[in-house]
Homo-oligomer: A and B are copies of this chain.
Amino acid sequence: MSDTRTRLPNELGTSLQAGDDAATAELLDELVHTGEITEILEALTSDDRRRLAVVLEDNEPAELLEDLDPIEAAEILSALTIDQAARVLETVDTDNAVDIVSEIESDRAEQILVAMDFETARELRELLVYPPDTAGGRMTPAFVSVDPHLRADQAVVALRQVAQEAETIYYVYVTDNDDKLLGVLSLRNLVLSPPETPVSDLMVRQMIAVLDTADQEIAARTLNEHDLLALPVVDEAYRLLGIITADDVADILEEEATEDIERLGGSEPLEEPYLRASPFLLWRKRVVWLLVLFLAAAYTTTVLQYFEDELDAAVALAFFIPLLIGTGGNVGSQVVTTIVRAMAVEDIRLGDIVRVVSKEARVGVMLGLVMSAVMFGRAVMLRTGFDIALIVASSVLIIVFWATLVGSVLPLALRRVGVDPAVVSAPLISTLVDGTGLIIYFMIARVVLT
């Protein structure tokens, strides 16, 4: 593996730079077959990619482009003329072609669409209206449908005629004259049933479908939950528009998990691969939340200023500030990531709020007791006196309990009022707990020290 990874891209680079088109075509063929093509194309320089585009023209580019990230495929196409790009795109699967076209700058994309075969361009335009993260934006119109009046053997013949273009022929959809979805049958049933069986006897009527406007995550979860190979996408009138195939599910769920993770970490989702993101984009995705969190945390200075007398009287109180609020923040981060993820994968629903909070309350007490003991130990080690040790130990008990509650209640409460709980990041909980934790700390200090 690691050998191929270094050898082949070098060879490909060499043959491209030497202009040896025959060798390049042969190498490409080998790469597609070993399945290493994506990684290797990603490792090429932009210059080499442009040279590659010219070679591609004469060598069935569809498979190659489909394996690439759409952004990279668009980049390769940019080295071609409008007409060349149109010819190449005509050979690419519609759902991949849509993703590639969306990455091409819009004036040029329009020129390419005009230069393309009319029917293919029409299909592309229909898909281009959907936002990319909807079921419509993910679907392919390359499904197979048959008439309900056919027999099994006639359906197989019908299949043979369209199989070349279809994304999958393992599910055959049954539609009426208005394209309304009536049912689905599997190639498995079709092949295993007596040839004269009517299609309408083989098909499953009570079937699962999603609306074209549904979020792609809903489509992916539905497909996955029911272990389907493909999911029909329909409009309000239940007309079959396209299908989403099982190979998209993992990609969709990975994308969504990445977004959730980035949000939980306290930034806006990047929405593109890390290495492609410019420093400015990274800055923009982070700075907004940093400023929000700064504003939320700014009152900690006010809190401390308010307790200036306590601080002046016992500067040792200041020593424990980072450790106390750090522990609170750590607990908050643990709780909120667990809860928000469990909500995302639907392990926790809104109706579970009481169960969740009562469970977390118990965990909070148990964690608080442990942290209280070690905090007391730390204070004794530092010889800050019994008073301070008592203050920090009881503070951390309450802060840990409080952080657990905030971390578990806030995501569920936000969902209840209709806000996406993914806005509750670990840094947000830490920040909220920081200020309230300080108040708890100094209130206890005031009581104990006076």
Evaluate contact between A325 and B323: CB separation under 8 angstroms. Answer: no
Which one, B225, B251, B257, contacts A224 given CB within 8 A? B251
Q: Which residues of B contact A426 (CB under 8 A)?
A: 265, 333, 426-427
Q: A338-B262, A338-B270 are contacts. A191–B188 as well, Cβ < 8 Å? A: no
Evaluate contact between B430 and A156: CB separation under 8 angstroms. Answer: no
Evaluate contact between B334 and A267: CB separation under 8 angstroms. Answer: yes
Evaluate contact between B250 and A247: CB separation under 8 angstroms. Answer: no
Evaluate contact between A286 and B367: CB separation under 8 angstroms. Answer: yes
Which of chain B's residues has its CB closest to A270's CB?
A: B338
Q: Which residues of B contact A308 (CB under 8 A)?
A: 315
Evaluate contact between B322 and A258: CB separation under 8 angstroms. Answer: no
Q: Is A445 an interface residue (CB 8 A)?
A: no
Q: Which residues of B contact A327 (CB under 8 A)?
A: 290, 293-294, 297
Q: Can you report 22 A-B residue pairs in the complex whose CB atoms are below 8 A from each other? A: A159-B191, A160-B191, A169-B191, A223-B250, A253-B253, A262-B341, A265-B426, A274-B338, A274-B342, A274-B347, A275-B347, A275-B355, A283-B363, A287-B367, A294-B323, A294-B378, A301-B382, A308-B315, A321-B321, A329-B430, A333-B333, A333-B425
Which of chain B's residues has its CB closest to A205's CB?
A: B33
A347 to B270, CA, bound (A): 12
Evaluate contact between A225 and B290: CB separation under 8 angstroms. Answer: no
Evaluate contact between B274 and A331: CB separation under 8 angstroms. Answer: no
Enumerate chain A interface residues (CB-CB to B < 8 A): 33-35, 38, 156, 159-160, 163, 169-170, 187-188, 191-192, 206, 208, 220, 223-229, 246-247, 249-251, 253-254, 257-258, 260-262, 264-267, 270, 273-275, 279-280, 282-283, 286-287, 289-291, 293-294, 297-298, 300-302, 304-305, 308, 311-312, 315-316, 318-323, 325-327, 329-331, 333-334, 336-339, 341-342, 345, 347-348, 352, 355-356, 359-360, 362-363, 366-367, 370-371, 374-375, 378, 382, 425-427, 430-431, 434-435, 438
A202 to B384, CA, bound (A): 80
The 7 closest A-B pairs by CB, nearest first: A265-B337, A274-B342, A257-B257, A227-B247, A300-B322, A279-B362, A330-B427
CB distance from A35 to the nearest CB of B (A): 5
Q: Which residues of B contact A341 (CB under 8 A)?
A: 258, 261-262
Which of chain B's residues has its CB closest to A382's CB?
A: B301
A375 to B320, CA, bound (A): 23
Interface centre among A38, A265, A425 (most CB of B within 10 A): A265
CB distance from A390 to the nearest CB of B (A): 16
A270 to B348, CA, bound (A): 14
Evaluate contact between B250 and A359: CB separation under 8 angstroms. Answer: no
Q: Which residues of B contact A315 (CB under 8 A)?
A: 308, 311-312, 315, 318
Evaluate contact between B257 and A254: CB separation under 8 angstroms. Answer: yes
A425 to B265, CA, bound (A): 10
Which one, B169, B227, B286, B438, contacts A331 given CB within 8 A? B286
Evaluate contact between A323 and B297: CB separation under 8 angstroms. Answer: yes
CB distance from A133 to the nearest CB of B (A): 17
> Given A170-B188, A265-B333, A266-B333, list of 14 further CB < 8 A pairs?
A187-B187, A224-B251, A253-B257, A274-B338, A275-B342, A286-B363, A286-B367, A290-B331, A300-B323, A301-B320, A302-B382, A325-B326, A329-B427, A330-B427
Evaluate contact between B160 and A192: CB separation under 8 angstroms. Answer: yes
Q: Which residues of B contact A34 (CB under 8 A)?
A: 206
Evaluate contact between B262 and A337: CB separation under 8 angstroms. Answer: yes
A291 to B326, CA, bound (A): 12
Q: Which residues of B contact A275 (CB under 8 A)?
A: 342, 347-348, 352, 355-356
A316 to B319, CA, bound (A): 14
Evaluate contact between A298 and B378: CB separation under 8 angstroms. Answer: yes
CB distance from A50 to the nearest CB of B (A): 22
A228 to B250, CA, bound (A): 12
